[in-house]
């Protein structure tokens, strides 16, 4: 029996959702470059779930459904009041919040395709509100209701910040959501599929996926990147800092990616957004530091930046708390998780791999008096 550490290179499923071929990423056949430059996140959610882009009428109705379902159950708001929001990592709060959303959804265990579609809308809508609400509550601020005239991206920034949102921020945030929406069988998506392959419900699958995304080797990378940039502080300290990290054999977060050889095709879009946003607030140093590090690591180690690297400075420039970076990743990736779980349901087989045993053999049990 052959093994592959981390399942690297192992094909475990067929999918018609997302492809990564020759370092090119596409959702249902649409290039990530095309979608990042032109599509609303709502269009991408619809595409992933329905395998086609919506027409104008379909998009209007879909957006209306999302906005209508953004209001959180009163019970969840009450639970937030009992949580230690100031001292608990937002990913732990979000994991718990999604699980509780399942508790208060009367259709949670109804497994028809129609019920799952309704739950999908509720989950995608309410995960945005949950992140914005607990962020405001821990600052002692009142929650802000969604605006039915706003897009998904603008609504999130509106509910989070409570102020007139700059169009450049909306553009950047929408682009980030599109870029993070799906990425084939990454760790969290595989976790979600394993979970629902037991015929568990969508809320359980999302909760499991959030647990996987929480780790710094997956979704937590962009939070580690901004921590690194903050420690560096100034552009002229960037290279000496990285040289010291490399000398100490420490990992530089946000660089390289297991499935790409020549570079992450998503990174260039957030790099440009980082450049524009840091210039807008007069803090170009965050972009310049990032660019210096990217060029140095690419030359020294052959590792280009991945999607997490420039999302860090982009989100920072929007005034978003650093510990919300990974929950925002989860908010976007929920669209892909749901698409994969719906696909798993359609052609399900319990995911149950084997392991090669390498431990001792032929031990004989001894009574405790003889051990």
Q: Is residue 111 part of a domain?
A: yes
What is the per-residue pLDDT across 257-288, written as a single tens digit (0 to 9) for each?
Answer: 777 777 889 999 999 999 999 999 999 999 99
Q: CB of 220 within 8 A of CB of 62?
A: no
The overall longest dimension of the chain from CA atoms, in Å, is 78
Q: CB of 226 within 8 A of CB of 316?
A: yes
Mean pLDDT (the chain, rounded):
94
Residue 91 pLDDT grade (very low, low, confident, very high; cuts 50, 70, 90): very high
Q: What's the confidence (pLDDT) of residue 2? A: 67
Give the other-Cβ count within 10 Å of 140's Cβ. 7
∠ CA(64), CA(65), CA(70), 5° rounding?
100
What is the per-residue pLDDT across 181-223, written as a single tens digit (0 to 9) for each?
Answer: 999 999 999 999 999 999 999 999 999 999 999 987 788 888 8
Q: Are residues 86 and 50 in the same domain?
A: yes
> Which of residues 274, 296, 317 is at a domain's end?
317
Q: CB of 325 within 8 A of CB of 312?
A: yes
From 129-138, 157-166, 298-307, 316-325, the region with the lowest mean pLDDT: 298-307
What is the per-residue pLDDT across 236-252, written as a single tens digit (0 to 9) for each?
Answer: 999 999 999 999 998 88
Q: Is residue 370 part of a domain?
A: no
pLDDT > 90? residue 10 = no
- What phi and psi, each to the nearest 5 degrees, are found at residue 164? -65, 125
The fraction of the chain above a pLDDT of 90, given in percent, is 84
What is the per-residue pLDDT across 132-171, written as a single tens digit (0 to 9) for each?
Answer: 999 999 999 999 999 999 999 999 999 999 988 999 999 9
Q: Are residues 113 and 232 in the same domain?
A: no
Q: Are residues 81 and 28 in the same domain?
A: yes
Average pLDDT of the residues in 51-79:
97
Q: What's the confidence (pLDDT) of residue 1? A: 58
User: For residues 301 and 295, what is the distance between their CA atoms, to the nearest angstrom?
Assistant: 10
Domain range spanning residue 76? 16-165+182-215+324-346
pLDDT > 70? residue 42 = yes
Query: Two tokens at 55?
Result: 């027409």
Q: Is residue 362 part of a domain?
A: no
Q: CB of 28 within 8 A of CB of 52?
A: yes
Whichever domain contains 250, its CATH number is 1.10.230.10
Q: CB of 283 within 8 A of CB of 323?
A: no
- The sign of the torsion formed by the CA atoms of 54, 202, 325, 131 equals positive
Q: Which residues contact 202 (CB under 8 A, 6 or more apart)?
A: 102, 116, 119, 120, 123, 196, 338, 341
pLDDT > 80? residue 324 = yes
User: For residues 205 and 203, what is the distance between their CA atoms, to the nearest angstrom?
Assistant: 5
Q: Locate the DSSP E strands across the chain.
A: 18-21, 24-27, 30-31
Q: Angle, to 10 degrees, between the axis of helix 307-317 and the axis of helix 221-232?
A: 60
Whichever domain contains 86, its CATH number is 1.10.580.10
Sheet with 24-27: list strands edge to edge.
Answer: 18-21, 24-27, 30-31
Unique residue bearing structure tokens 């170009």: 284
Q: Are residues 99 and 140 in the same domain?
A: yes
Q: Are residues 93 and 143 in the same domain?
A: yes
Q: Are residues 161 and 265 in the same domain?
A: no
- The residue ranking higher by pLDDT, 306 or 337, is 337
Q: Are residues 226 and 310 in the same domain?
A: yes
The DSSP string of 216-243 is TTTTTHHHHHHHHHHHH-SGGGHHHHHH
Q: Are residues 112 and 140 in the same domain?
A: yes
Look at residues 57, 59, 34 and name the one whose alpha carbon lies nearest to residue 49.
59
pTM here? 0.94
Query: Two tokens at 154?
Result: 């603008």
Q: Is residue 3 part of a domain?
A: no
- What pairs with residue 19 in β-bridges? 26
Residue 8 pLDDT grade (very low, low, confident, very high; cuts 50, 70, 90): confident
User: For residues 29 and 1, what is the distance between their CA atoms, to the nearest angstrom?
Assistant: 35
Q: Are residues 238 and 134 in the same domain?
A: no
Q: Is residue 2 part of a domain?
A: no
Provide the annotated active-site residues.
257, 308
pLDDT > 90? residue 317 = yes
Residues in the chain: 371
User: For residues 345 and 370, what is the distance between their CA atoms, to the nearest angstrom?
Assistant: 52
- What pairs with residue 25 in β-bridges? 20
Domains of the chain: total = 2
Q: Is residue 170 part of a domain?
A: no
Q: What's the confidence (pLDDT) of residue 251? A: 86
């Amino acid at each position: 029996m052959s093994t592959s550490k981390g399942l690297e290179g192992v094909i475990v499923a067929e999918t018609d959702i997302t492809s990564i071929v020759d370092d090119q990423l596409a959702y249902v056949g649409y290039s990530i470059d095309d979608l990042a430059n032109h599509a609303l996140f709502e269009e991408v959610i619809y595409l992933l779930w329905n395998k086609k882009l919506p027409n104008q009428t379909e998009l209007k109705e879909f957006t209306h459904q999302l906005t209508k379902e953004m209001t959180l159950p009163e019970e969840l708001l009450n639970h937030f009041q009992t949580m230690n929001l100031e001292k608990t990592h937002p990913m732990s709060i979000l994991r718990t919040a999604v699980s509780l959303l399942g508790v208060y959804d009367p259709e949670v265990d109804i497994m028809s395709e129609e019920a799952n579609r309704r739950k999908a809308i509720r989950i995608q809508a309410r995960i945005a509100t949950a992140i914005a609400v607990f962020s405001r509550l821990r600052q002692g601020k009142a929650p802000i209701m969604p605006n039915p005239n706003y897009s998904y991206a603008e609504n999130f920034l509106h509910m989070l910040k409570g102020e007139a949102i700059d169009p450049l921020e909306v553009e950047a945030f929408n682009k980030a959501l599109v870029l993070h929406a799906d990425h084939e069988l990454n760790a969290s998506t595989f976790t979600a599929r394993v979970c629902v392959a037991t015929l568990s419900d969508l809320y359980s699958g999302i909760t499991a996926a959030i647990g996987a995304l929480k780790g710094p080797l997956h979704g937590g990378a962009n939070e580690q990147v901004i921590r690194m940039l903050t420690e560096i502080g100034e552009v002229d300290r960037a290279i000496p800092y990285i040289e010291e990290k490399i000398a100490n054999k420490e990992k530089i977060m946000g660089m390289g990616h297991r499935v790409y050889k020549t570079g992450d095709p998503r990174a260039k879009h957030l790099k440009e957004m980082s450049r524009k946003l840091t210039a807008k607030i007069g803090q170009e140093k965050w972009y310049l530091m990032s660019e210096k590090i990217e060029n140095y690591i690419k030359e020294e180690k052959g590792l280009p930046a991945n999607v997490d690297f420039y999302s860090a400075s982009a989100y920072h420039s929007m005034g978003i708390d650093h510990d919300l970076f990974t929950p925002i990743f989860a908010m976007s990736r929920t669209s892909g998780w749901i698409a994969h779980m719906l696909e798993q349901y359609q052609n399900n087989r319990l995911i149950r791999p084997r392991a090669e045993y390498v431990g001792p053999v032929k031990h004989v049990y001894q009574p405790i008096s003889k051990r």
